[in-house]
Amino acid sequence: MSETGEKTATFGYRDVDVAEKPQLVREVFDRVARRYDLMNDLMSGGVHRLWKDAACAKLNPRPGEFIVDCAGGTGDIARRLAKLARGAQARRGGASAQVMVIDYNAEMIAAGRQRNPHPEREPELLWSVGDALALPLPDATADAYIIAFGIRNVARVEGALAEARRVLKPGGRFLCLEFSQPPSAPIRKLYDAFSFNVIPAIGERVADDRASYQYLVESIRRFPTQERFATMIREAGFGRVGYTNFSGGVAALHHGWVV
Ligand SMILES: C[S@@+](CC[C@H](N)C(=O)[O-])C[C@H]1O[C@@H](n2cnc3c(N)ncnc32)[C@H](O)[C@@H]1O
């Protein structure tokens, strides 16, 4: 049982023992790691890039900052942040920012590192195998924390929010980009038809793995609505909480500050 008393966690449409979920999710990402970036482009028609760019612009990395990209996978978000931070440093001067990718799946981290054969050209990036529920960082050390398409996969969403709050400094920025629930019924209907019929089929064709992509679409449906998730962020101790819907609410960017 978790310390908040939950015995079960969602795994797609199944309820599983809370202790079982991390291994089940780990196996999903072990299977998809090699094709992960390609699959994101195919499933979203490239739109995930626009959502990620908007999330990184909102985070607005500044020279000298220490930023956590939690459940960072192959480092897609971290590389965008590093690029923005380099631009800010060129304009304003100051020390280089550091962006730490933390992911509990060593396969995803390895796939991300292999994407760049010249790591010396990305001096801002740090890679760490670690758990969103027990971040390998002391209290109040990060200026900003972002988690993109990751929090839905952790066994206890409240636990991940508490860890984010713990590692952020006063004034720190929390951002979460996640698939969400389109508020409009017609958009929801179209989106459901696409997700349940097309996404698992692409997974089977391209990654030879239907089950992982069936998990993806089911896990999105079980994630809290935008309003409920905003409440959870407030309950974790963040202030000035809000969110922006992307693509009619297919994804949402939530934010909260340590006030
Ligand atoms: C859908 S991927 C997102 C990767 C990346 N943030 C992106 O947007 O491309 C979800 C990631 O969450 C990671 N993950 C799931 N549970 C985790 C946990 N408890 N701690 C750290 N990482 C976790 C998985 O290993 C996977 O790499």
Spatial distance between the Cα atoms of 44 and 74, rounded to a whole number of angstroms: 17
Q: Is 104 in the pocket of ligand 1 (CB under 6 A)?
A: yes
* Contact residues for 119 (Cβ-Cβ < 8 A; gap 6+): 113, 125
* CA of 105 relative to ligand 1 center, distance in Å: 8
Q: Is 2 helix (H, G, I), strand (E, B) or coil?
A: coil
Contact 65, 85 (CB under 8 A): yes
- Residue 105 Cβ contacting ligand 1 at under 6 Å: yes
Q: Is 150 in the pocket of ligand 1 (CB under 6 A)?
A: yes
What pLDDT sits at residue 109? 95
Q: Which of 143, 182, 171 is nearest to 240 (CA)?
A: 171
Q: What is the largest CA-CA distance in the chain?
A: 51
Using a 6 Å cutoff on CB, does residue 163 contact ligand 1?
Answer: no
Instruction: Give ∠ CA 129-131-137 in degrees, rounded to 5.
Output: 80
Atom nearest to 131 CA in ligand 1: 20
* Confidence (pLDDT) at 5: 59
Position 31 scores a pLDDT of: 87
The runs of H, that is alpha helices, within 45-184 are: 47-59, 76-92, 106-114, 157-167
Q: Is 103 in the pocket of ligand 1 (CB under 6 A)?
A: yes
- The per-residue pLDDT for 1 is 41
Please state the domain extents for the chain.
8-257
Rounded mean pLDDT, 160-183: 97
Q: What percent of the chain has pLDDT over 70?
A: 98
* pLDDT tens by residue, 222-239: 999 999 999 999 999 999
> Which amino acid is it at 236?
A
Helix (H, G, I), strand (E, B) or coil at 70: strand
153 lines ligand 1 (CB under 6 A): yes
| Ligand 1 atom index nearest CA of 108 | 27
Task: Specify whether the backbone of 240 is left (phi greater than 0), alpha (psi in -120 to 50) or beta.
Answer: left
3-class state of residue 251 by DSSP: strand
Is the CB of 107 inside a 6 Å radius of any atom of ligand 1?
Answer: no
pLDDT at 2 exceeding the cut of 50:
no
Q: For the residues 150-173, what does the mean pLDDT come to?
A: 97
Nearest 10 degrees: Cα torsion 102, 258, 245, 189: 70
Q: Among 70, 104, 145, 223, name the best residue to mutate to test ligand 1's pocket (greatest count of ligand atoms within 8 A of Cβ).
A: 104
What is the residue-averaged pLDDT of the chain?
94
The token duo for 150 is 């990751």
Q: What is the pLDDT of residues 72-121, one digit of tens each?
A: 999 999 999 999 999 999 999 999 999 999 999 999 999 999 999 899 98
Write the pLDDT tens digit of every residue in 4-50: 457 899 999 999 999 999 999 999 988 888 888 888 898 888 999 99
Ligand 1 binding pocket includes 106 (Cβ within 6 Å): no
CA dihedral 224, 225, 228, 229 (to 10 degrees): 70
CATH fold for domain 8-257: Rossmann fold (3.40.50)
Give the residue among 77, 85, 101 at the shortest CA–CA distance from 177. Answer: 77
How far apart are alpha carbons 204 and 209 in whole angstroms? 5
